[in-house]
Amino acid sequence: MSAVHASVRVCPHCGAPAESHDYCAGCGTHLATLAELPTRTEWEAQRAQTTAPLALVEPSASTTLPDKATSIRPLLHPTERSRLILAVVGVAIAVVVAIPVLIAAQSASLLLNLVVILIGSTISLWFGQQLLRARLLGRSVKVSPETLPELQALLDEVAATLQYHRRVDVYVVDKAKQPISMSSYLGTRILVIEGGLVAELLAPARRPQLVFLIGRSIGALRAKHARFDLVVILLQAVNALKYVSPLLLPWYRATTYSGDQIGMVCCADLEAALQATRRLLVGKELACDLDAGAVLPQACLVQHRLLPRLAQLFSAEPHNTNRYANLLCFGRYHDPESWERVRASMDAERTRSLEDLWARSPYRRRLAPAE
């Protein structure tokens, strides 16, 4: 690769010389369908940008960031920004249209009741967070350098990677509804992790999986993915959420994809991120027996068929098969070398499914050379 001349046209995915072939000799990409191929110099510049863990950016004068701060934006899913705009529109509709109509339809005195409900809900939410913290203090172990030094070191590592310096209270419990969960309301951020998950994944061979899971949670705070959670609770309290949920749910699904991507960059291991995601599909006992490409034909069906796509529209999280497919596509975009190792482990049928998923991915359009 290093001997390729700077002006030679190369494959936009792996950087192999394109020559006159219709397909790339390095990764099999169909080059004949691309309008223009990048030069080796252009490809190296693009690769340097996309494989950097986090891009350093100069903050604008209006920000409160330090002189140089890490931008999380390169790690977000391509659809998150547009869906955020859609969610803001939904909240604005609820505030400007739905609530006044609701007031006018019933009585003017409802306005006072509405204000009381909103204030009461906010106070109840804050008190609930403090009560949760008190309950966890009495029934679990709060992570610190004295109690669980290895886990504290891992948390510090993830926070340093993401340059997230706000306080997060982390507790390890015996059993929980979810193996790992994060709540962030009114300045109180609480991360709860099952002890069994920590014990299993702190082993050196599986540590990247734990970094991936914790990176997802801390990354959600860094990317402000909880910004609408309080609004959702307040809208639910006044029975207005049902009017705007179709505009909010797409954004929540996009943030799930973004969280997976941030976690993958934190652990710097695509295969570990995929292994952790397979746990969502089949559980920890079978995840090790499921190879990297086993679910790809099923993921293709989920993306092509109408009913699975329709079912996802009413959910705040995408299908787990879609999350798995997105991680693979992001890995191809962000870390081609790791992705190539994963692809090499697949047979021809699964490779075709992978290419089908890639053809539908927004990351394919990001890598396509400008016309």
User: In angstroms, rounded to a whole number, what is the distance separating the alpha carbons of residues 244 and 251?
Assistant: 12
The per-residue pLDDT for 69 is 44
User: In angstroms, rounded to a whole number, what is the distance separating the alpha carbons of residues 311 and 39?
Assistant: 43
Tokens of 102: 């609701």
User: In angstroms, rounded to a whole number, what is the distance separating the alpha carbons of residues 80 and 358?
Assistant: 18
Does 25 score more than 50 pLDDT?
yes
How large is the average pLDDT for residues 270-286? 91
The per-residue pLDDT for 109 is 64
- In the DSSP assignment, the letter for residue 18 is -
- Mean pLDDT lowest for which of 54-58, 205-209, 245-249, 259-263? 54-58
How large is the average pLDDT for residues 20-38? 65
User: In angstroms, rounded to a whole number, what is the distance separating the alpha carbons of residues 217 and 224?
Assistant: 11
Residues in contact with 317: Cβ distance below 8 Å, sequence separation at least 6, in sequence order: 252, 253, 256
* Average pLDDT of the chain, as a whole number: 82
Q: Which of 20-34, 41-55, 330-344 has the highest mean pLDDT?
A: 330-344
The per-residue pLDDT for 142 is 94
- Mean pLDDT lowest for which of 55-64, 93-102, 201-210, 272-281? 55-64
The per-residue pLDDT for 13 is 62
Taking the CB of residue 15, how many other CB atoms lie within 10 A of it?
Answer: 21
The per-residue pLDDT for 28 is 55
Does 370 score more than 50 pLDDT?
no
How large is the average pLDDT for residues 93-119? 68
The per-residue pLDDT for 271 is 93
The per-residue pLDDT for 229 is 86
The pLDDT confidence band at residue 321, using thresholds 50, 70 and 90, is very high
Q: Which of 26-30, 330-334, 365-369 has the highest mean pLDDT?
A: 330-334
Who has greater pLDDT, 324 or 14?
324
Does 2 score more than 50 pLDDT?
no
Residue located via tokens 């190369």: 10
- Mean pLDDT lowest for which of 91-100, 172-181, 214-223, 291-300? 91-100
The per-residue pLDDT for 288 is 84
Does 371 score more than 60 pLDDT?
no
Does 91 score more than 80 pLDDT?
yes
% pLDDT > 90, the chain: 49
Dump pLDDT digits (tens) for 34-72.
667 777 777 666 655 444 444 333 333 333 333 334 578
Residue 224: name the closest of 66, 79, 80 by CA. Answer: 80
The per-residue pLDDT for 329 is 95
Does 240 score more than 90 pLDDT?
no
How large is the average pLDDT for residues 6-11? 74
- What is residue 153's three-state secondary structure? helix
The per-residue pLDDT for 267 is 93
